[in-house]
A and B are shown apart, each in its own frame.
Chain A
């Protein structure tokens, strides 16, 4: 595997010697069409294009990041994720990726529904608010939890919706979505039991 460049917002970080990109590469089939919501500077889409022959499209709201994404040859679109999906027809993409962005959305459920309308599969990665360290921090401090995973003060946090792994599973069941695969990670390790308590980050492959 070629050396993957560092990504601004890694999907999952390193696990068992496999990079973020390897896990994404494991999920995303080669030669498919992918939409990355919050694509940043387009590192992931560039990697997918070069290594998986993927046709990548990106949405990013910050102009400077969009510019760098386009400069690296990625078809990035400058716009708000929540307003941008409506233009795409049904099932326009094989995969729609929301990597560490869902918790920052005003209306995450609307975004998820739109993701599964325009994409055949959704790839959703988010920090798990149910992790024991978050619970512990909240319990002992009695204040909005601040951990390595949630490092922000309540007033400057980009995270406006906190969810746990169980929350997402319950939503999926509730909405009749099928979770095809789940990856649960704590630091460098894969979590194989009690994910909602022990995993820091979850990655789900979901379909309608």
Chain B
């Protein structure tokens, strides 16, 4: 399945910070066919460093999508049944307007003059894209990590447009630890002299700072167990310790490789803006409790966590699930056993596929049933039927 990233353009979008961004472009891809009554559309929302290329083989790069194992014919998100959409987030650097885009007013990249964006802003732009594609109601919005935050935001911002939500390895709000890791990444970038206050376009750019930020990120995506299995204390291309500060251990080599590879595909300022959006995310914001906030949603929920994910631990998924249970909402939850840490949502495909497939099928059945607010049968009605 060869896919081509497409571009949608909108005149302007109002942001949570009060600023307006104009114009805005969104890079997106679609897979599968929209059915006759436009009821089979699913929005896939990507994680921090993801992009619009979720599935298939990119016409441009020849590479598979970041969730290609989950999206395709017969896969968890079956392109034979559903019409899938994935777009690059606002503030990103893979085709959607972000800090590396040209500010039409200034004639040069926005850099740090780009407004601070939120998960809510990302979702607002995705809603514009969905409207642009002529879809009034999504069968599902699904994503892991930061994608899960967007899916949650969708459920409360556009409750009438979302029939179901899949939240994987995510949270309703960033904790101190999650903010702390993001701040280390931001400081690594900003401490690099080549960052130059964000004004590095045409220059070298903060390659070292961005690489270090990514190295920290990768550690948080793995687990102690997965790192012991993958690297242990194995030395890299040597039999004895070097007694110097070149690469000794495999794990050092891996992190350096991942760091340098990331620099080639990611904009440092996007890193700052997107991590800030994650840190600002708090679904409870403005409400007395998470349940009070989620009460706005009308969707069925599937929440998945992974046992070894210490970056987005299961208790954060349970906060969401228990808030929904206190509202007696339709929610399925499981903590999948895995040793892959936070990365599990990209790696543990088999079990996720089975679960997602069944959940989506039940969402289709629920959507086909006549509308009616879910609620316990009234005592009177029950007594009447009991005769």
Taking beta carbons and an 8 Å cutoff, which residues of A are in contact with B?
29-33, 55, 57, 63, 66-79, 84, 87-89, 91-94, 120
The reply to whether A63 and B358 form a contact with Cβ atoms under 8 Å apart is: no
Given A55-B330, A89-B328; 10 other pairs, CB 8 A cutoff: A29-B377, A31-B377, A32-B377, A57-B328, A71-B357, A73-B359, A75-B362, A79-B333, A84-B325, A92-B376
* Distance, CA A33 to CA B374, complexed state (A): 9
Q: Does B302 contact A (CB under 8 A)?
A: yes
The reply to whether A67 and B330 form a contact with Cβ atoms under 8 Å apart is: no
* Distance, CA A176 to CA B377, complexed state (A): 24
Main secondary structure of the interface of A (DSSP, over half): mixed
The reply to whether B328 and A32 form a contact with Cβ atoms under 8 Å apart is: no
B335 / chain A contacts, CB cutoff of 8 Å: 63, 78
- Given A29-B386, A33-B377, A55-B374: A70 and B328 interface contact (C-beta under 8 Å): no
The A-contacting residues of B in range 371-386, CB under 8 angstroms, are 374-377, 379, 382, 385-386
B302 / chain A contacts, CB cutoff of 8 Å: 70
A92 / chain B contacts, CB cutoff of 8 Å: 328, 376
The reply to whether A63 and B376 form a contact with Cβ atoms under 8 Å apart is: no
Enumerate 17 A-B pairs (CB-CB under 8 Å) in ascending A order: A29-B377, A29-B386, A33-B377, A70-B332, A70-B355, A70-B359, A71-B355, A71-B358, A73-B365, A75-B362, A77-B321, A79-B333, A84-B325, A88-B326, A89-B328, A94-B376, A120-B376
B358 / chain A contacts, CB cutoff of 8 Å: 70-73
The reply to whether A91 and B376 form a contact with Cβ atoms under 8 Å apart is: yes
Of chain A, the residue at the smallest CB distance from B302 is A70
The reply to whether A67 and B376 form a contact with Cβ atoms under 8 Å apart is: no
The reply to whether B326 and A87 form a contact with Cβ atoms under 8 Å apart is: yes
Q: Which of B328, B336, B362, B379 contacts A67 (CB 8 A)?
A: B336
Q: Does B334 contact A (CB under 8 A)?
A: yes
* Distance, CA A94 to CA B379, complexed state (A): 9
Taking beta carbons and an 8 Å cutoff, which residues of B are in contact with A?
300, 302, 321-322, 325-326, 328, 330-337, 351, 354-355, 357-359, 361-362, 365, 374-377, 379, 382, 385-386
B334 / chain A contacts, CB cutoff of 8 Å: 63, 66-67, 70, 76, 78
The reply to whether B328 and A75 form a contact with Cβ atoms under 8 Å apart is: no
- Given A73-B358, A92-B328, A94-B377: A63 and B337 interface contact (C-beta under 8 Å): yes
B374 / chain A contacts, CB cutoff of 8 Å: 33, 55
The reply to whether A93 and B376 form a contact with Cβ atoms under 8 Å apart is: yes
Q: How far is the CB of B272 from chain A (nearest CB, A)?
A: 37
- Given A29-B377, A33-B376: A77 and B325 interface contact (C-beta under 8 Å): yes
The reply to whether A78 and B333 form a contact with Cβ atoms under 8 Å apart is: yes
* Distance, CA A30 to CA B386, complexed state (A): 10
B325 / chain A contacts, CB cutoff of 8 Å: 77, 84, 87-88
- Given A78-B334, A88-B326: A67 and B377 interface contact (C-beta under 8 Å): no
B357 / chain A contacts, CB cutoff of 8 Å: 71
* Distance, CA A68 to CA B362, complexed state (A): 13
* Distance, CA A157 to CA B38, complexed state (A): 53
Q: How far is the CB of A75 from chain B (nearest CB, A)?
A: 5
The reply to whether B376 and A32 form a contact with Cβ atoms under 8 Å apart is: yes
Q: How far is the CB of B209 from chain A (nearest CB, A)?
A: 40
The reply to whether A29 and B385 form a contact with Cβ atoms under 8 Å apart is: yes
- Given A63-B335, A67-B334, A77-B333: A33 and B386 interface contact (C-beta under 8 Å): no
* Distance, CA A134 to CA B221, complexed state (A): 54
* Distance, CA A25 to CA B235, complexed state (A): 64
- Given A55-B374, A76-B334: A120 and B355 interface contact (C-beta under 8 Å): no
Q: Which of B332, B354, B379, B382 contacts A74 (CB 8 A)?
A: B332
Q: How far is the CB of B180 from chain A (nearest CB, A)?
A: 29
Of chain B, the residue at the smallest CB distance from A77 is B333
The reply to whether A29 and B382 form a contact with Cβ atoms under 8 Å apart is: yes
* Distance, CA A94 to CA B355, complexed state (A): 27
A67 / chain B contacts, CB cutoff of 8 Å: 334, 336, 351, 354-355
The reply to whether A89 and B326 form a contact with Cβ atoms under 8 Å apart is: yes
Q: How far is the CB of B313 from chain A (nearest CB, A)?
A: 15
Q: How far is the CB of A23 from chain B (nearest CB, A)?
A: 16
Q: How far is the CB of B120 from chain A (nearest CB, A)?
A: 27
The residue in A68, A77, A94, A120 that gathers the most chain B C-beta atoms within 10 A of its C-beta is A77
Of chain A, the residue at the smallest CB distance from B327 is A89
Of chain B, the residue at the smallest CB distance from A53 is B369
A72 / chain B contacts, CB cutoff of 8 Å: 358
Q: How far is the CB of A73 from chain B (nearest CB, A)?
A: 3
Of chain A, the residue at the smallest CB distance from B363 is A73
Q: How far is the CB of A153 from chain B (nearest CB, A)?
A: 28
The reply to whether A77 and B331 form a contact with Cβ atoms under 8 Å apart is: yes
* Distance, CA A48 to CA B326, complexed state (A): 23
* Distance, CA A98 to CA B385, complexed state (A): 23
Of chain B, the residue at the smallest CB distance from A33 is B376
The reply to whether B300 and A75 form a contact with Cβ atoms under 8 Å apart is: yes
Q: Which of B330, B365, B382, B386 contacts A75 (CB 8 A)?
A: B330
